[in-house]
Chain A
Amino acid sequence: MLIAAIIALGVGTYSMRLGGVLLRGRLKLSATLQRLLPMAAAALLAALAGTAALMAGTDFAGVARPLGVLVGGVLAWRKAPFVVVVLAAAATAALLRLAGVP
């Protein structure tokens, strides 16, 4: 049962990945729709970042994580290198937790 569930989840996830990739070739998208795709992706990625930054399950994620992401976000906005953004976000959250901030 477990193996069937894992295969089903894997095949289903792969189908959605491949479905999107193949569908693009089949669809004759107008120029307007083609312009929408990167915007749609940006909305999804921003939503993933926003929910991952602020929420843990259905509750708020506390203080340390959002502040860490905020520090990373400001650095990214100031065009800091990717490595610096990621490390600063992690270090901020880690240090805040070390200091007892939830």
Chain B
Amino acid sequence: MRTVQRTAEDRVLRRDAATIAAAMIAVGASFGAIAIAYGLPVWVPFLMSTVVFAGGSQFLAVGLFAAGNPVAAVVAGLLLNARHLPFGLAVSEAVGPRLRDRVIGSHFLTDEVAAFTLAEPDPARRHRVYWIIGLTLFTSWNIGTALGVLLGGATGDPDALGLDAAFPAALLALIMPSLKDRATRAVALTGAAIAVLLTPVLPAGLPVMCALLGLLTLIRPRRRRTEPSC
């Protein structure tokens, strides 16, 4: 019975992983194609997709590389990727207890991996979810990059396929169950509103980090609870 349920859960996980992997291949292909279109050497997108493995910062960096500003690319990319630190804190137990797991597994941490891992209600299964999604996304992102380099502009515009809507919708679907909790909902919605409002005025990366200010909604005046009833 337990095995049957487990297999069913794994089937759902694999199907969900395949969905997000297909989208990653398409966006990875556009990354590879854009890097080549910018006139960067062929090894650049490959090295970035394996060594950096963070889509947003890779798109940002190739633009700045092409503009001849590699220092800005590093600074802006690191700022954009600062969110991986709190994500690392949140998924730490899922990565694994052994140092080897942590040293290798940390590299596969992305937004989607954090979202999938934390969406798994059973803490005992989170290790499995983390590694399956992490390895699937790393593989598909690199396959996509290679396809983009090989096919160039023939890979098409990911926006025409609506992929720019697919990724935020995927994140929404993954955090939706956690939003049932009233406190989490207040924190998340306030954080998202802060980030959207700050996006036009702050450099990329900072608005999302400012979403952590949503945690301030947890501070409630104590008076109501301690107010004497007599």
Interface residues of A (CB under 8 A from B): 1-10, 12-14, 16-25, 36-55, 58-59, 61, 64-69, 71-73, 75-77, 81-83, 85-95, 97
> A41 vs B191: C-alpha distance in the bound complex, in angstroms?
10
Are A20 and B189 touching (Cβ within 8 A)? no
> A89 vs B78: C-alpha distance in the bound complex, in angstroms?
30
Question: Restricting to B191-215, which residues have a CB under 8 Å from any CB of A?
Answer: 191-196, 199-201, 207-212, 214-215
B159: which A residues are within 8 A, CB to CB? 65, 93, 97
Contact A51 to B169, CB < 8 A, known contacts A20-B84, A44-B191: no
Are A86 and B173 touching (Cβ within 8 A)? yes
Contact A40 to B90, CB < 8 A, known contacts A82-B173, A89-B166: yes
Partner of A93, one of B164, B171, B174: B164
> A48 vs B90: C-alpha distance in the bound complex, in angstroms?
16
Contact A49 to B192, CB < 8 A, known contacts A40-B212, A93-B164: yes
B23: which A residues are within 8 A, CB to CB? 86, 90
Band of interface residues on B: 35 or more
Chain B interface main SS type: helix
Are A82 and B57 touching (Cβ within 8 A)? no
Smallest CB separation, A20 vs chain B (Å): 2
Interface residues of B (CB under 8 A from A): 12, 15-16, 19-20, 23, 40-41, 44, 47-48, 51-54, 57, 61, 65, 70-71, 73-74, 77-78, 81-93, 95, 102-103, 105-107, 109, 111, 114-115, 118, 159-176, 178-179, 183-184, 187-196, 199-201, 207-212, 214-215, 218
Contact A6 to B172, CB < 8 A, known contacts A17-B84, A54-B196: no
Are A9 and B57 touching (Cβ within 8 A)? yes
- Nearest to B82 among chain A residues (CB) is A16
Are A93 and B111 touching (Cβ within 8 A)? no
Smallest CB separation, A102 vs chain B (Å): 11
Are B168 and A21 touching (Cβ within 8 A)? no
Smallest CB separation, A83 vs chain B (Å): 5
Are B167 and A52 touching (Cβ within 8 A)? yes
A76: which B residues are within 8 A, CB to CB? 169, 172-173, 176
> A97 vs B162: C-alpha distance in the bound complex, in angstroms?
8
Contact A42 to B165, CB < 8 A, known contacts A9-B57, A97-B160: no
> A9 vs B78: C-alpha distance in the bound complex, in angstroms?
6
> Which residue, of B53, B65, B211, has the highest number of chain A Cβ atoms within 10 A?
B211
B12: which A residues are within 8 A, CB to CB? 81
Are B86 and A21 touching (Cβ within 8 A)? no
> A1 vs B163: C-alpha distance in the bound complex, in angstroms?
33
Are B175 and A46 touching (Cβ within 8 A)? yes
Smallest CB separation, B98 vs chain A (Å): 11
B111: which A residues are within 8 A, CB to CB? 45, 48
- Nearest to B193 among chain A residues (CB) is A50
